[in-house]
Amino acid sequence: MIEMAVTMMVFAILVALGVPTMSTWIKNNKVRAVSDALQTGLRLAQAESLRRSRQVVFSLTNSTTPDTVLPLPAVANGTSWAIYTLPSMASGESPTFIQSGMLSNVSANVNINSNGVAAVCFNSMGRLTANANVTAITGGDTCAQPTAVLPPGTSPGYAFGISTPGSDRPLQVNLGLGGQVHMCDPVVPISAAHPEGCSP
């Protein structure tokens, strides 16, 4: 009986020591899952602009049916994303839905800080472009000229911060002017020894 009590006590101590570490690990994985989902959506939008040789808009939204509702209520820090082709100015055609994805159901309680950006436009060469003629899709938001400072030596772009309370591993998804998507660790300054870091 004494041996069982001692064993249970040791087990309880080990569990008490391991729970905080396990909780942090789970939250870090949630941040990684949302970062991967956002990165996948941005890369798909850029690839589709090249494949179709058309301008494409990637929009953050809280809509659960972005394929059926236009204009989308584009929202900075939205819980979902949607990709549409932009209509040709000459033909008067309608926007074409390409694909959408969820961010909130990947991991609940993860915050996406898009720095006020709700829509991102890619031109037919896969590069970021400013476009004020996307309101029919986004519901009022436009693709502004990217201004975020990305790692030294690169051109401006957009930076999306992803974090959750209790995580010690926030991540950032950078989108460069040329359409390059790069995930980095904002806690670590970028250097030759730490290429996974973000710009200081």
The model's pTM = 0.82
- The architecture of the domain spanning 2-198 is 3-Layer(bab) Sandwich (3.55)
User: For the segment 26-50, what is each residue's pLDDT rounded down to a tens digit?
Assistant: 888 888 888 999 999 999 999 999 9
User: For the segment 48-76, what is each residue's pLDDT rounded down to a tens digit?
Assistant: 999 998 899 999 988 888 888 788 888 88
Sheet holding 80-85, edge to edge: 96-102, 80-85, 56-61, 119-122, 128-129
Cα distance between residue 182 and residue 49, in whole Å:
18
Phi/psi at 90 (5° precision):
-80, -35
Which pLDDT belongs to residue 64?
81
Whether the bond between 146 and the residue before it is cis, its omega within 30 degrees of 0, is no
Which pLDDT belongs to residue 151?
54
Which pLDDT belongs to residue 150?
61
Which pLDDT belongs to residue 17?
64
Which pLDDT belongs to residue 66?
82
Which pLDDT belongs to residue 63?
84
Low-confidence ranges of the chain (pLDDT < 50): none
Kindly state the DSSP code that residue 121 receives in the 8-state scheme.
E
Which pLDDT belongs to residue 152?
53
Quick count: other Cβ atoms within 10 Å of Cβ 10? 10
Sheet holding 171-176, edge to edge: 111-113, 157-163, 171-176, 181-189, 197-198
Which pLDDT belongs to residue 16?
66
Amino acid, res. 112: I
